[in-house]
Amino acid sequence: RWERRWLNAAGLLLVLFLVLIAYSLATEGGHIAQRSGRAAPDQLTALELFANPGVTVTNLGAGRPPEVQVSVVAQSYAFNPSEILLPVGAVATFYLTSRDTQHGFQVEGTNINVQLIPGEISRFTYTFRDAGVYRVTCNEYCGIGHHNMLGTIRVL
């Protein structure tokens, strides 16, 4: 009888594990729809994008998720803007570049991890499905201030 109980307990644990794995796979946050390192829009578009970095609503999304455009300029040792506000569930297309040296843009708790290269635009689309505060770090050693090169994405 005890053996049977132990077997049942082991079986139960196994099921629990499978459920947890399935759950963690299903709630992996958003997903990156596309990314390309060498998108090269014409100079004018790039100027417009980065003249006033930040969030622009590109579609209010009647009946579908809103769409926003996020531009970020990295320069030793900060991101501009350092704080990005996004509505939860919005389809956010990011355009990032660097003004000086190579930097990184990694968002903790997501699979966002791109390199920012001077003269190039890193582009990707991401949907934050959970509200919260996400820390942005530079993951590319860029000099003495590297470890303090931080940002925040606030999803409301």
The residues of the shown chain that bind ligand CUA, judged by CB under 6 A, are: 77, 103, 138, 140-142, 146, 149
The DSSP code sequence of 9-69 is HHHHHHHHHHHHHHHHHHTS------EEEEE---HHHHHHHHHS-EEEEEE--TTS--EEE
Least distance between ligand CUA and beta carbon 70 (Å): 18
Least distance between ligand CUA and beta carbon 93 (Å): 22
Q: Judged by CB, which is closer to ligand CUA: 31, or 147?
A: 147
Q: Judged by CB, which is closer to ligand CUA: 86, or 140?
A: 140
Least distance between ligand CUA and beta carbon 15 (Å): 44
Measured CA to CA, the distance from residue 111 to residue 7 in angstroms comes to 38
Q: Judged by CB, which is closer to ligand CUA: 99, or 129?
A: 99
The DSSP code sequence of 18-33 is HHHHHHHHHTS-----
Least distance between ligand CUA and beta carbon 43 (Å): 25
Judge whether 98 and 116 are in contact, CB under 8 Å: yes
Q: Judged by CB, which is closer to ligand CUA: 23, or 141?
A: 141
Measured CA to CA, the distance from residue 72 to residue 101 in angstroms comes to 14
Least distance between ligand CUA and beta carbon 149 (Å): 4
> 3-state DSSP call for residue 120?
coil
Judge whether 96 and 71 are in contact, CB under 8 Å: yes
Q: Judged by CB, which is closer to ligand CUA: 103, or 123?
A: 103
